[in-house]
Amino acid sequence: MDEKIENGLVVPNNNQLQTGIFGGEQKVKKATSIDLSNEHDTDMLLNAMQDVDFKINDCIGQEIICIGAYLQEFNVDSFNEETGEQIARKKHTLMLFDENGKSYVTGSNACYMSFADIVSVKGMPTRENPLKLIPIKVDAKEKGHSYLKLKLGR
């Protein structure tokens, strides 16, 4: 499979979605492991962009047999109210697809990064190379706060 590494993710070259300016000045990077030459899978992706089936946060501990992924990265500017300083940071969207065509989404940066760690070793999920993923909560150092991440199932 023809792949490249981008931002720590293994991205199949034939499935690279457009990167560019959308809605003004904001640059958005998009990638998918969905086979865009397959009309059924393309429709599955487009429909999930409008109406996702599950939030990954609601699926803690449940194994997802992931056959595809859609990823977005975009810059968000915020302001420190005390100093007036502009702060630029990256936000992410991660959408997973299971073997039944169900979609799962999160905006968690920690989950996106844990997915990036998995695919940097295992490769992006496809129908031929599915990944068994389990959403988990990991406690942060601050009491009462946790992060959403993914781990490999068995």
Q: Give the other-Cβ count within 10 Å of 119's Cβ.
A: 22
Q: Is 134 exposed, middle or buried (0-12, 13-18, 19+ CB in 10 A)?
A: middle
Confidence grade of residue 52 (pLDDT, cut at 50, 70, 90):
very high
pLDDT at 2 over 50: no
Nearest to 124, CA basis, from 32, 45, 41, 39: 32
Coil/strand/helix, residue 140:
coil
pLDDT above 90 (res 149): yes
| Report field, pTM of the whole predicted structure over 0.85 | no
Whether the CB-CB separation of 101 and 44 falls below 8 Å is answered with yes
- Please write the tens of the pLDDT for every residue from 94-103: 999 999 999 9
* Mean pLDDT over the full length of the chain: 83
Q: What is the largest CA-CA distance in the chain?
A: 52
Residue spans per domain, the chain: 3-152
Q: Is the pLDDT of residue 18 over 80?
A: no
Which pLDDT does position 1 carry in this prediction?
Answer: 40
pLDDT in tens, 56-90: 999 999 999 999 999 998 888 777 778 878 887 88
Q: Comparing C-alpha atoms, which of 154, 41, 146 is closest to residue 103?
A: 41
Tokens 């501990």 belong to residue: 61
